[in-house]
Amino acid sequence: MPFQNIPFYDPLKTYDQNCHEGPFGAFADDQAYPNVGEPQIEFLRQKISSDFGIPAGPLPNSKFVKAAFRKGFDLPMYKTVRTQAHPCNGFPNVVPVGVEGDLTLEKATQGLVTEADFTPPIAITNSFGVPSLDPKEWQPDMREAVEAAGNGQVMIASFQGTNRGQGVEAFVQDHVLGARLVKETGAKIMELNLSCPNEGKSTLLCHDTDLVERIATEIKNEIGDTPLLLKMAYFPSDEGLLDFLNRLSSIVQGFSAINTIASSVRKPNGEQALPGERRLVSGVCGAPIKWAGLEMVKRMDAIRQRLQRAFVIVGVGGVTTPQDYLEYKSAGAEAVMSATGAMWNAELAREIKGV
């Protein structure tokens, strides 16, 4: 891939600097690749020109979403929002890590060490804490991003609930409120982020199928026929994945997998890489996690055929080249997304459209 020294989200700047000054690199130029002709792909009732985009994470506001549209990413996702303002974890939030080959679960438990610089094949760890503006600020900005979609393009809105220590019912209703606020922006497709740490839980929410079933049911009662995706982490257990998909596929319209693989990350001298409490372990993404995303898509597709269900699968994880995209499509994904790969290669969508 054409590695670019300045990614569109600059890890050397703070989250606030990126939001206010970004995007950077090629995303900041005027070169646009508009779609030509009638879009031929149908995705969750929307006509799109390509089934490739950017997942929740590196597009924190409408400026970034608009730039993604200009560069031909037809399915960009607005970074996860909340029902109340939430601060970002301390800087730095993105650091390069050294990984030889695949980041297997066994290798992840052994911990990783930071690298001196960002070099291909890109492997990073990130720790943002799912920051969010107040809805009074993100709602009009998200609406602007929704309306910026060009021919054959659609923005997907990511959101999540927050556990504020007020009990399960309050947690469920915070998700419902978040869904309502997102729907008010006019978003045509929504994604519930179940794959980032939720305050007050020792495990990821996507691994609590009972609670997810309750939350998803309440959200769908609120948003009606607006398509809803669920963002998942890696499921080690086939039994757990089967149960999750069996119970949730009758409620929601699709699933995205995966987010990151968790690992402790230290500097070469042994110090914790990311400053602050509860930040020794963070999410690793980039080329070394492709195996996990690809495996999840294959397993989900096999379960889909076994259950004879019609949900869509969005493949995410380690996509840095057109070949990666093709492998995800062959595995059964209806759409494919790239975060880290796209950050360092603004031409990736155009390259994929050429294969």
- Global pTM reads 0.96
* 77: its two tokens: 């996702």
Q: HSE on the CB side for 9, CA within 13 Å?
A: 29
Catalytic residue among 88, 196, 206, 285: 196
Summarize the confidence of residues 67-81 as an average pLDDT: 98
Q: What is the pLDDT of residue 166?
A: 92
Name the residue among 307, 291, 290 with its Cα closest to residue 244.
307
Q: What is the pLDDT of residues 184-225, one digit of tens each?
A: 999 999 999 999 864 544 579 999 999 999 999 999 999 999
Q: Does 88 qualify as catalytic in the annotation? A: no
Q: What is the pLDDT of residues 4-57, one digit of tens each?
A: 779 999 999 999 999 999 999 999 998 999 999 999 999 999 999 999 999 999
Q: Using CA of residue 76, residue 207, residue 284, residue 114, what is the dihedral sign? A: positive
CA 92 to CA 273: how far, in whole Å? 9
Q: What is the pLDDT of residue 200?
A: 44
